[in-house]
Structure formats: structure tokens, C-alpha cells
């Protein structure tokens, strides 16, 4: 367990926001470690102290932190992380206490009731989200054929890979990111989607093109399929997590190049073209 | 001792050459891939036929395969003629073109894409396989690291003792895959990027590591003993017959690691250590990598960083350089369309360093570098716009990923 305090208070976490980064070596395949850097940076920019705890496999998970972050990973890593968390019980205790939890992709699946891995076996998850995940190929075989099925090709649902643009249900700015998953997640009545898909697949159940849902929200538990890393591309989502974790409203924050990045990605999704504007220099 | 080829093979080669020439004539590239595809379409057995009289060494890795193959080819050339896919066309078609271009070669030194290695190794009847490292690369379309290791493992398990596998003992993924082969020479090439081998490739438990060793406490898989290895100074190579200090023109500790495994490979082919090291020292650019070119009065050095492991090594390489750092990022099909891996590069280690950011995904990279604390001087689509920011006479260290690198090389290398 690595403990880093971005503070001058000598390592005590009095007054600091305690963030637990769960298993970055297992669940960090798609640059999701960047989400942690963004959270810490946005706290620091507001002169708030961050107390970061990184938990590796086999190490104890603290149950008293404010915010827990779980990224994406390969099947085997995902199963390993899920088993560690189930055996420890700490994340469930923390969530019951009202801690904020944020998960990405395979992490989203782990937070649900159960998920299927590529061998066809079903692995129990943590049950923190009212969600179940099966391979998209199984949804395609088991469920009724998608309403818009025109040919046999539509009955096989490919892996969901590509840029996503989605509209958050809470009215915050558009969600932008990159998805890459073979799982299709169905939300139960206790969970709401994080956003409605404008372009891309999202949760990926219901039909080959998904069911229009992206991610999940249940109390203080938020999850998404989006990489990017998603908090680097969506500062509003980062602040939503920090506001949940700190219980206080945060002042807006200007960060260099983020607006241009968001505009460029939105332009690309809508037109299929990269923007080619001129030189930007900061002076 | 060229193979006696049937008429069909001759037709295939002629048609392939024509297709390649047409491709070049209309400016569609170097033609190696299209030519090879035509050849293999007409004669699917062509690879086997062309390779039959050659002693084939196939080299594969996520990073370093082009450079290592080039070193091996240069050293083998001291012993005989060598067929070599020197332009990085590293799937069956590119290999077919390389072998057809030098049919009388005694040796073939071919780099092979990681996912295509089992098929190409089999169809060429390679008698030597050099396996170096596996790490994350183009996850949007490539395979997860563990899946590649599994494919290599199955390939190795089917090999006979006549095939010599030369493998990096320090990469657990590679070592596990190679350990299935009956005839392995282990080389300690080091592993600086460990993010993709946290778990035992065999049983899935967490691996325990020390500076020079790794092991699985659950199933007992561990780093094999090596008679060849690089010393921690990454300047000397220990061989079964003594310690040598290669004098390479290429920079970086990873190139010493590349030289170590290349040395083990060519020694097994009968090349003496001194001739091999001389040959390695003659390699000064590898298909444009490390090349120096003059750009509007500034000396520019071109460096390829295509994934987290290689980008990290390139940042190490330019750490002390007085040149202006220019970082360039694209995310086209050949690069991988998801550039989120830039967040896996520990750019925080270079906080405070001024840099220019360019390429089609410059804003992604600018946010990353700014977050890491580098001083982003500005961004532009065109990397060469950075020359405006460079002091008179200041050099440029340009680190670019794949398609950005290819484009730049075309622009600045005359």
C-alpha cells in the first residue's frame, strides 16, 4: 500500500480528501490511472489536500476513505480484482457508509451483481450497482433479435469499440470518451444510466447498437464504460465526484487545452473529421 | 543455392513485383505489402518454398523488433547473404517480398508482428525464434498482452528441438511462453516496463519481484537462469565466454538489450563475437528511427514512441538533451485509435521541461503533459511549426508515434 499526501500537514489526513486507487496494476490497462491524476490535480488547484492511497493485490483496502476509484482491465485481472474486493468486504462497507465510488469499464462490471468473462463463466461481483453483465455475443444469441435486424450480420453484436458522445442525465456538459468492451450491461430498477448515448454504443445491451444507456448511477456510486481517461476529457464529471466525496460545492476551474480537446472530439464524432486549425501558443 | 521453384511460384513473384512497381509508380507507398499479397494469393505455398533453402531467424516483440532484426541481419551478412524485411513490413506479405527479393540468401532475418508470429514462423520453417518483450500496444484493435503470450505459448509447445528459441528471461510473459519450447537459450534483457506483467501468466496469482528477479509464489513459475544478460549499468553484456561492452551508434539502454539478444542469436549461427559487435556498431538508423536531419536550420533527431513502454524509453533518452522537445501524437488505424495510453507514460518524471505539442491528437497530449507539469509552449497540427519556438541553432528532439513519425520522416529526410 502506497500512501501519498499532497499536503504540508505531515502526512495526517485531517481535512484532506482521502482517495483510494484500487489495484492500478490489475485495473489500469487503458490509461485509467489518469483519472486519479486529474482528481488530485483538481483538488490541488483549489488548495484542497488530497490523501492518495494506492492499493495493490493482497494489500488491505481501507474502509474509511472518501472516494474509491476502480479502472478497467483484462478478464483475468478483472476476476482477480473482483475476488479481492469480495473477500475484503471493505468497499461494500465503505459504500454502505456513504463513500463515493467511481468505476470504469471492467470496474463497472465488477460493481454489478455479476459479470460473464470470455470463457463463458459468470463471476459474482460486489452488488453495489443494480447491474448484470453478459458478453454482447450472448445477448445477441439469447435475447430476441434486435428490432432493427435487417440481415444476419445484425444478429452478431460486435465488440463495442470507438468514440462515444453522451448526454448526462443531470444536465452537465456532454460526456466524451472512448469505449472498448465486449460486455453488455443491463441496469436494474435501482440504478439509473449516467448518460444517454448520442453516438457510440454505451452499456451495450438491448440491441447491437446498445440500449441508449451509458454508465450507471446509484446513490454515490458512479460508473462508465468510457476511457480517455474519462475524467481528463470530462472535468465536470471529475468535479461531480469530488463534490459527492467532499460534500461541498466546488468553484469552477480553468484547465489549459481541455476545452479545445472536448471541442475537437465532439467535432470529430459529429463530422468524422479532425479539426485542422492553426497554431496555438500560450504566452 | 536458390530453391528450384515451380512455374506457379515464378508467376507469383513476377505478378507481385509488377503490383509493387505499379503501387510505387502511383505513389501509394513502397509496394512491399501489396506485392507480397499478390504473390501469396497466386502461390499460397510461396513462403515455405522461398524459405526452404534459407536459415530463417524470426524476431518478434512489442518494441525493438526492427532494430534487433537489423542488428542480426548486419551480423549475419559477415557470414553470407541475408534476406531481410528492412522496411518494417512484418506480416506474411512483407516477409514474402523480402525473401523473393533475395532468393539466393543463405540466411533470412525477419521481424514479425507479434500476432502473426505463429503463422509466419510455421510457414517459413524458421529454425531460430527471437522473443523479446510483450506490452500494451494498440488495444483498440490489437490483442491484450496475455492473449498474445498464450498464442506464443501454444506455438512454442508445438516446436521440435531443432528450433532454437532465444528468449528474454526478464519478461514474465515472454519467459512463460518460451518455456513451452524444448530448446531455449535465455537472455536477460531487462524489463523496464512491468505494468503488463503484474500477474503470473501461468496461474494468475500476483508475481513477486526484486530488482533482478521475478517469481510466482503460487505455481512456482520463476525467472529462468541465464548465461547471457546485460549488467545493471546497461552498458555491458555478459556472455558464456566473457563480458563485452558493445560500442553502439544507437542510443539508449534498450538498444544494449537489443544487442544482447541479437548477439546470442548470431553466435548460434556461427558469427564471432567481435564481428557481430562491429556489425551492430554500424547500425546507425533503423528505417528512419534515430535519424538526424536539418529542418530550417535546426538539427532534428527523429525518435519513434509508439506505446507506453517505448515512449517512456524515448523520454529517458532525451532527458538531458538541450534540444527543444517536440512531442507528436496521431491516432489513426496504424497507431491505434485510442490514445489514452499516453496517461500510462510517467511524464511526471519530466515535470518542468518545456515542450511543443503537435499532431492530430495534440490536445489529448497537451492536456496530458500540462497535467504532468511539463511546460507546454504551444500546440500545432504541424510538428515543424515548433521551429518558430526553437532558439537559433537549438536542436529538436522529435518524439512521434507511428503515423506521425512516418509522415515526418517523409518530410525531413531527403
Residue A122: count other Cβ atoms within 10 Å of its Cβ: 13
Verify whether the Cβ–Cβ distance B199 to A77 is below 8 Å.
yes
Residue A270, chain B, CB below 8 Å: the answer is no
Yes or no, beta carbons of A34 and B144 under 8 Å apart: no
Residue with cell 462515444: A164
Using alpha carbons, select from B259, B94, B409, B338 the residue that is nearest to residue A30.
Answer: B338
Task: Decide if A256 and B338 are in contact by the 8 Å CB cutoff.
Answer: no
Of residues B57 and A27, more confidence is placed in: B57
pLDDT at position B3 over 60:
no
> Using CB atoms, which residue from A25, A29, A232 is nearest to B367?
A232
The shortest CB-CB distance from A76 to any of B146, B338, B363 is to B146
Residue B181 pLDDT > 60, yes or no? yes
Residue B282 host element (H or E)? helix B273-282
Q: Which residue of B has its CA nearest to A39?
A: B371
pLDDT, residue A4, reads 64
Tell me the residue length of chain A. Answer: 283
The pLDDT score that the predictor gives to residue A12 is 43
Its pTM stands at 0.89
Of A37, A77, A80, the CB nearest to B371: A37
Q: Do A279 and B376 lie within an 8 Å CB cutoff?
A: no
Nearest chain A CA: its distance from B355 CA (Å): 11
Across the interface, do A232 and B342 touch by the CB < 8 Å criterion?
A: no
Q: From chain A, pick out residues whose CB is under 8 angstroms from the CB of B379.
A: 257, 279-280
As a CATH number, domain B42-282 is: 3.40.1190.10
Q: What's the mean pLDDT when you consider all of chain B?
A: 94
pLDDT of residue A149: 41
Q: Which residues in chain A land under pLDDT 50?
A: 6-12, 143-154, 283
CB neighbours of residue A96 within 10 Å: 10
- Contact between B194 and B209 (Cβ < 8 Å): yes
Nearest-CA distance A226 → chain B (Å): 11
Chain A (56-95) residues lying within 8 Å, Cβ to Cβ, of chain B: 56-58, 74, 76-77, 79-80
Provide, as residue numbers in chain B, all residues whose Cβ is less than 8 Å from the Cβ of A29. 136, 139, 144
Contact yes or no for A256 and B198 at CB 8 A: no
Query: Are A57 and B341 in contact (CB < 8 Å)?
Result: no
Chain A CB contacts of B338 under 8 Å are 30, 178, 180, 227
Complex-level ipTM: 0.91
- State the nearest Cα–Cα gap between B299 and chain A, in angstroms: 22
Distance CA B67, CA B175 (A): 21
- Which is nearest to A263 in space by CA: B317, B367, B78? B367
Phi, psi of B351, rounded to the nearest 5 degrees? -55, 140
**Minimum Cα–Cα distance from B198: chain A residue:** A25
Give yes or no for a contact between B71 and B64, defined as CB atoms under 8 angstroms apart.
no
Residues in chain A with CB shorter than 8 Å from the CB of B377 are: 281-282
Q: What is the pLDDT of residue A282?
A: 52
Within 10 Å of residue B410's Cβ, how many Cβ atoms?
Answer: 10
Q: Which of A163, A182, A280 is nearest to A233 (CA)?
A: A163
DSSP H or E segment with residue B370:
helix B362-372
Q: Are A193 and A213 in contact (CB under 8 A)?
A: yes
The per-residue pLDDT for range B339-367, each reduced to its tens digit, is 999 999 999 999 999 999 999 999 999 99
Residue A277: predicted pLDDT: 61
| B103-116 pLDDT tens trace | 999 999 999 999 99
- State residue B142's pLDDT score: 63
A contact test, residue of B140, B340, B380 with most A CBs within 10 A: B340
Q: How far apart, in whole angstroms, are the C-alpha atoms of residue B59 and residue B265?
A: 10
Neighbouring CB atoms inside 10 A of A208's CB total: 21
In this prediction, residue B206 carries a pLDDT of: 85
Of A34, A178, A256, the CB nearest to B370: A256
Assigned fold of A2-256: Rossmann fold (3.40.50)
Q: Can you tell me the distance from the alpha carbon of A120 to that of B338, in angstroms, rounded to the nearest whole number?
A: 27
Based on C-alpha coordinates, what's the Rg of chain A? 19
Least confident of A78-82, A275-279, B224-228, B401-405: A275-279
- Angle among Cα B338, B409, B138 to the nearest 5 degrees reads 20
Share of chain B above pLDDT 90, in %: 85
In angstroms, how far apart are the furthest CA atoms of chain A? 65
B328 bridge partner residues: B358, B400
Determine the residue of chain A that is closest to B147 in CA distance. Answer: A74
Q: Is A257 on the interface with B (CB under 8 A)?
A: yes
**In angstroms, what separates the C-alpha of B175 from chain A's closest C-alpha?**
19
A38 touching B, CB under 8 A?
yes
Contact B257, B234 (CB under 8 A): yes
Which tens digit of pLDDT belongs to each residue from B301-323? 999 999 999 999 999 999 989 99
CA-CA distance, B137 to B62, in Å (whole number)? 7
Do the beta carbons of residue A117 and residue A79 sit within 8 Å? yes
Q: How far is CA A44 from the centre of its chain?
A: 22
Cβ <8 Å between B378 and A282: yes
The full set of domain ranges for chain A reads 2-256
Whether B367 sits inside 8 A of A256 (CB atoms) is: yes
Q: What percent of chain B has pLDDT over 70?
A: 98
The CATH fold of domain B292-412:
3.90.190
DSSP secondary structure letters along chain A: -EEEE-SSSTT--TTSEEEEEE-TTTS-TTSTHHHHHHHHHHHHHTT--EEEEEE-TTSPPPSS-SEEEE----HHHHHHHHHHHHHH-HHHHHHHHT-EEEEETHHHHHHSSEEE-TTS-EEE---SSSEEEEEHHHHHHHSPPPTT--SGGGGS---EEEEEEEEETT-PSPEEEEEEESEEEEE-TT-B-SEEEEES-TT--SSTT--SEESEEETTEEEES-BTTHHHH-HHHHHHHHHHHHSS-------TTHHHHHHHHHHHHHHS-------EE--
Chain A residue with Cα closest to B308: A31
Distance between CA atoms of residues B240 and A127, nearest Å: 56
Q: B16 pLDDT exceeds 90?
A: yes
Tell me the shortest Cα–Cα distance from B413 to chain A, in angstroms.
24
* Cis peptide, bond prior to residue A69, ω within 30 of zero: no
Contacts of B195 in chain A (CB under 8 A): 25, 28
Helices of type H across B171-235: 172-178
> Which candidate from A30, A255, A256 shows the least CB-CB separation from B340?
A30
Amino acid at each position: 500500500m502506497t500512501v501519498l499526501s499532497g499536503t504540508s500537514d505531515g502526512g495526517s489526513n485531517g481535512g484532506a480528501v482521502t482517495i483510494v486507487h484500487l489495484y492500478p496494476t490489475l485495473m489500469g490497462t487503458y490509461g485509467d490511472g489518469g483519472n486519479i491524476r486529474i482528481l488530485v490535480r483538481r483538488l490541488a488547484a483549489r488548495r484542497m489536500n488530497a490523501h492518495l492511497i494506492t492499493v495493490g493485490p493482497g494489500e488491505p483496502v481501507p474502509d474509511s476513505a472518501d472516494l474509491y476509484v476502480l479502472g478497467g482491465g483484462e478478464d483475468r485481472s478483472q476476476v482477480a480484482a473482483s475476488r479481492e474486493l469480495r473477500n475484503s468486504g471493505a468497499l461494500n462497507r465503505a459504500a454502505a457508509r456513504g463513500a463515493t465510488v467511481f468505476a470504469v469499464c471492467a470496474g463497472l462490471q465488477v460493481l454489478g451483481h455479476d459479470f460473464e468473462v470470455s470463457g463463458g463463466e459468470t463471476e459474482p461481483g460486489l452488488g453495489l450497482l443494480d447491474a448484470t453483465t453478459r458478453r454482447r455475443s450472448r445477448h445477441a444469441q439469447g435475447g430476441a433479435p434486435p428490432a432493427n435486424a435487417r440481415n444476419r450480420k445484425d444478429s452478431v453484436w460486435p465488440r463495442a469499440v470507438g468514440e462515444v458522445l453522451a448526454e448526462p442525465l443531470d444536465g452537465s456538459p456532454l460526456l466524451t470518451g472512448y469505449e472498448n468492451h465486449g460486455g453488455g450491461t443491463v441496469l436494474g430498477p435501482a440504478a439509473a444510466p449516467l448518460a444517454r448515448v448520442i453516438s457510440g454504443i454505451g452499456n451495450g445491451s438491448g440491441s447491437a447498437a446498445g440500449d441508449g444507456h451509458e454508465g450507471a448511477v446509484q446513490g454515490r456510486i458512479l460508473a462508465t464504460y468510457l476511457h480517455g481517461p474519462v475524467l481528463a476529457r470530462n472535468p465536470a464529471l471529475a468535479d461531480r465526484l469530488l463534490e459527492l466525496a467532499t460534500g461541498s460545492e466546488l468553484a469552477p476551474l480553468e484547465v489549459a487545452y481541455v476545452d479545445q480537446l472536448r471541442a475537437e472530439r465532439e467535432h470529430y464524432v459529429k463530422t468524422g473529421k479532425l479539426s485542422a486549425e492553426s497554431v496555438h501558443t500560450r504566452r | 543455392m536458390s530453391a528450384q521453384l515451380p512455374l506457379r511460384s515464378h508467376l507469383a513473384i513476377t505478378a507481385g513485383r509488377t503490383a509493387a512497381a505499379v503501387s510505387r509508380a502511383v505513389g501509394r507507398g513502397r509496394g512491399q505489402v501489396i506485392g507480397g499479397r499478390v504473390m501469396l494469393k497466386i502461390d499460397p505455398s510461396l513462403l515455405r518454398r522461398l524459405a526452404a533453402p534459407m536459415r530463417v531467424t524470426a524476431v518478434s516483440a512489442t518494441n525493438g523488433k526492427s532494430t534487433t532484426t537489423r542488428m542480426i541481419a548486419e551480423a549475419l551478412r559477415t557470414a553470407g547473404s541475408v534476406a531481410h524485411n528492412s522496411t518494417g513490413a512484418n506480416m506474411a506479405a512483407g516477409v514474402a517480398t523480402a525473401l523473393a527479393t533475395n532468393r539466393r540468401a543463405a540466411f533470412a532475418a525477419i521481424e514479425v508482428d507479434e500476432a502473426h508470429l505463429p503463422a509466419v514462423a510455421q510457414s517459413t520453417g524458421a529454425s531460430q525464434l527471437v522473443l523479446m518483450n510483450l506490452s500494451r500496444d494498440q488495444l483498440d484493435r490489437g490483442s491484450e498482452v496475455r492473449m498474445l503470450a498464450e498464442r506464443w505459448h501454444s506455438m512454442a509447445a508445438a516446436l521440435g528441438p531443432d528450433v532454437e528459441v532465444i528468449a528474454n528471461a526478464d519478461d514474465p510473459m515472454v519467459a512463460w511462453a518460451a518455456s513451452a519450447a524444448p530448446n531455449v537459450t535465455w537472455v536477460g534483457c531487462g524489463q523496464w516496463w512491468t505494468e503488463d506483467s503484474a500477474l503470473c501468466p501461468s496461474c494468475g496469482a500476483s508475481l513477486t519481484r526484486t530488482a533482478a528477479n521475478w517469481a510466482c509464489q503460487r505455481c512456482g513459475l520463476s525467472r529462468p537462469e541465464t548465461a547471457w544478460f546485460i549488467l545493471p549499468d546497461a552498458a555491458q553484456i555478459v556472455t558464456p565466454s566473457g563480458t563485452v561492452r558493445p560500442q553502439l551508434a544507437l542510443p539508449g539502454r534498450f538498444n544494449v538489450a537489443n544487442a544482447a539478444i541479437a548477439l546470442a542469436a548470431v553466435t548460434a549461427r556461427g558469427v564471432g563475437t567481435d564481428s557481430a559487435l562491429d556489425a551492430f556498431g554500424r547500425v546507425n538508423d533503423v528505417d528512419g528511427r534515430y535519424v538526424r536531419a536539418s529542418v530550417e536550420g535546426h538539427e532534428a533527431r527523429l525518435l519513434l514512441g509508439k506505446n507506453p513502454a517505448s515512449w517512456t524509453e524515448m523520454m529517458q533518452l532525451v532527458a538531458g538533451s538541450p534540444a527543444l522537445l517536440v512531442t507528436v501524437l496521431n491516432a489513426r488505424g496504424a497507431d491505434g485509435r485510442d490514445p489514452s495510453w499516453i496517461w500510462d507514460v510517467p511524464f511526471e518524471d519530466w515535470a518542468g521541461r518545456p515542450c511543443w505539442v503537435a499532431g492530430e491528437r495534440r490536445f489529448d497530449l497537451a492536456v496530458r503533459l500540462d497535467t504532468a507539469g511539463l511546460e507546454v509552449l504551444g500546440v500545432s497540427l504541424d510538428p515543424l511549426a515548433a521551429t518558430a519556438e526553437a532558439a537559433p541553432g537549438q536542436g529538436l528532439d522529435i518524439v512521434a508515434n507511428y503515423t506521425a513519425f512516418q509522415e515526418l520522416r517523409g518530410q525531413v529526410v531527403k
